[in-house]
Amino acid sequence: MNSSLHIHRKQLKFLVIFAVAIAAGISLSIFWGQDWSLPPPMAGGATTVINRTSRGFEQPAPNLSEAELKDHLEGDRAFEAVFVTPPAPVNSGLGPLFNNASCAGCHIRDGRGMPVKGQMLVRVSLPPGYPTTSEQQEVIFESHPEASVTLGNAPPVPGIGTQIQDQAVYGYQPEAEVEVSWQKSFGNYADGTTYELRSPVARITLPNGKPLPPQVLTSLRIPTPIFGRGLLEAIADKTILALADPEDSNKDGISGRPNMVWDITTQKVVLGRFGHKANIPNLLQQTASAYVNDMGVTNPLFPEKDGSSDIDDRTLNTATFYTQTLAVPARTMVDDPIVKQGEKLFNQANCAACHVAELRTTNYKIPALAHQTIYPYSDLLLHDMGSELADRRPDFAATGTEWRTPPLWGLGLTQTVLPYSGYLHDGRARTLAEAILWHGGEAAQSKEMFKKMSQSDRDALIRFLNSL
Ligand code: HEC
Ligand code: HEC
Ligand SMILES: [Ca+2]
Ligand SMILES: [Ca+2]
Ligand SMILES: [Ca+2]
């Protein structure tokens, strides 16, 4: 009895060891089979949604509290609200000069917009150094409706300021008319395949029928996607600054630089992160300047001269909250072998030196966005992108050839959300391949590597971008 029990125990022990070994083997094989270089599909951490439809950019972060979700939905209504000429019972205060009557009219389905009237913006300024004194600048600002956000930065153009409002309410005249035409150019991949590129030529006509004086610097921009921006705001300054390499000390040809911009709330020079040249420090200021400059809607940050404003704090804050709390769509096709190959090529071509895949958020006023591991594919820094993409219009520390690395998350949904929308700051690239082919300056090496790839490698890289 005793001995048989003993044997039985021994067998049991053996069986347990055997079972543990098998389980360990299985988990080991799972471990080895997993490609750990591939980020999981949770592009926005806990704020990620699984939605690859045309509504993919419009979802609230799924981890908001009930009260936060209520604010988000109120912000959604503010974002969609179409402003009208005063006096009116609701959404009053459009203009007198404006570009569009609503946020949603430019950021289509919370994604990008097109280089067309009503969606594109043209920023203008005089070359640095004009006019010389801030008193002269004040005089210029008196003569146009924009807020003097840029005081001490890009010198405003008399009668226009730093942004062309090409629409006006009844009784007023738009500052100018902007017409975009396209210039074509051609090139070849290393394998001989030809491609065609196009770049915009903006013809700007003043109300008197004359063109802008030739010394005026102009910069054409399309609306950026706005989802996931709270996460970008929740990244610590030091995380972004640690990615900067202004002197290119590691000699890889890439030298990201921070833009240092004016924060009107704290009245300090701080790190810029929003806009194509990272010239805006935070989402409150971005929203407030969009209201006043893009829609002519004065607000508590940019009030009328008498201190009153078209909208109150609550509207400004909920619209801002909306841009902070939109979910990031999850990646797709992460296990597709061609996508994995494309990701390898993305890293080999050093795209990831600027389009940094993984970042961490820090403490943040909205707990749902704090301490998240996210995959924006951006360093939020400025890079010299070469003369072909240059607007030649400096903006705070950004030179005329520098642009902020745009986040690539959600990129593959672009055409689903807005068919025929373009890429790059002015929407010139009709395809992702065209966007890469415009890269120059610090990214010239990456572009050359792309041009040398075989057709199937190029396709794999694009497929990877479309999986984001
Ligand atoms: C006339 C079109 C237009 C309107 C109206 C408009 N925007 Fe924009 N928005 C743009 C453009 C163009 C940019 C890029 C600006 C730049 O680079 O200078 C932008 C940038 C942004 C960004 C920065 C995103 C990033 O990644 O840097 C946010 C956030 C934003 N807009 C929110 C809003 C909100 C909120 C409203 C309404 C209060 C609004 N926008 C109204 C055209 C518009
Ligand atoms: C030196 C930094 C740098 C490198 C390297 C780089 N990029 Fe970019 N990328 C940028 C910047 C900056 C822009 C925005 C340029 C503009 O708007 O004119 C951009 C824009 C893009 C866009 C358009 C995004 C949009 O939303 O419109 C795509 C796609 C892209 N890059 C992919 C790549 C790929 C693929 C590679 C590697 C072959 C690469 N980039 C290498 C900095 C870089
Ligand atoms: Ca107004
Ligand atoms: Ca103006
Ligand atoms: Ca470097």
In this prediction, residue 21 carries a pLDDT of: 45
Number of Cβ within 10 Å of residue 180's Cβ equals 18
Q: Tell me, in angstroms, the distance from the centre of ligand 5 to residue 245's CA.
A: 5
* CB distance 425 to ligand 2 below 6 Å: yes
In this prediction, residue 136 carries a pLDDT of: 58
Q: Tell me, in angstroms, the distance from the centre of ligand 4 to residue 139's CA.
A: 14
In this prediction, residue 103 carries a pLDDT of: 98
By DSSP bridging, strand 121-125 and strand 328-329 are unpaired
How far is the C-alpha of 178 from the C-alpha of 232, rounded, in Å? 32
In this prediction, residue 158 carries a pLDDT of: 82
Cα-to-chain-centroid distance, residue 127: 26
Report DSSP letters for 404-417, one per residue: EPPP-TTGGGHHHH
Establish how many alpha carbons lie within 13 A of residue 400's alpha carbon, considering only the half-sphere containing its beta carbon. Answer: 15
Q: Tell me, in angstroms, the distance from the centre of ligand 2 to residue 383's CA.
A: 10
Short-list 270, 266, 369, CA closest to 323: 369
* CB distance 290 to ligand 1 below 6 Å: yes
Q: Which atom of ligand 1 is nearest to the CA of 297?
A: 38
Contact between residue 279 and residue 91 where contact means Cβ atoms under 8 Å apart: no
Q: Tell me, in angstroms, the distance from the centre of ligand 3 to residue 130's CA.
A: 28
In this prediction, residue 196 carries a pLDDT of: 98
Q: Tell me, in angstroms, the distance from the centre of ligand 1 to residue 19's CA.
A: 59
Task: Provide the residue type at 427 as one letter.
Answer: G
In this prediction, residue 29 carries a pLDDT of: 37
Per domain, the residue ranges of the chain are 45-112+223-467
Helix 337-348 and helix 455-467: axis angle, to 10°? 100
- Angle made by CA atoms 455, 457, 458, in degrees to the nearest 5: 65
* CB distance 259 to ligand 1 below 6 Å: no
In this prediction, residue 27 carries a pLDDT of: 41
- The tokens describing 102, both together, are 């609503």
How far is the C-alpha of 38 from the C-alpha of 40, rounded, in Å? 6
* pLDDT less than 50: residues of the chain: 1-7, 10, 12, 14-18, 20-38, 143, 149
HEC secondary structure over 357-394: CCEECCCCCCHHHCCCEECCCCCCCEEECCCCCCCCCC
**Probe target for ligand 2 pocket from 355, 392, 417, with the most ligand atoms within 8 Å of CB:** 355
* CB distance 382 to ligand 2 below 6 Å: no
In this prediction, residue 130 carries a pLDDT of: 74
Q: Which atom of ligand 1 is nearest to the CA of 98?
A: 1
* CB distance 106 to ligand 1 below 6 Å: yes
Ligand nearest to the CA of 403: 2
Q: Tell me, in angstroms, the distance from the centre of ligand 5 to residue 442's CA.
A: 9
| Whole-prediction pTM | 0.91
- The tokens describing 162, both together, are 């730093």
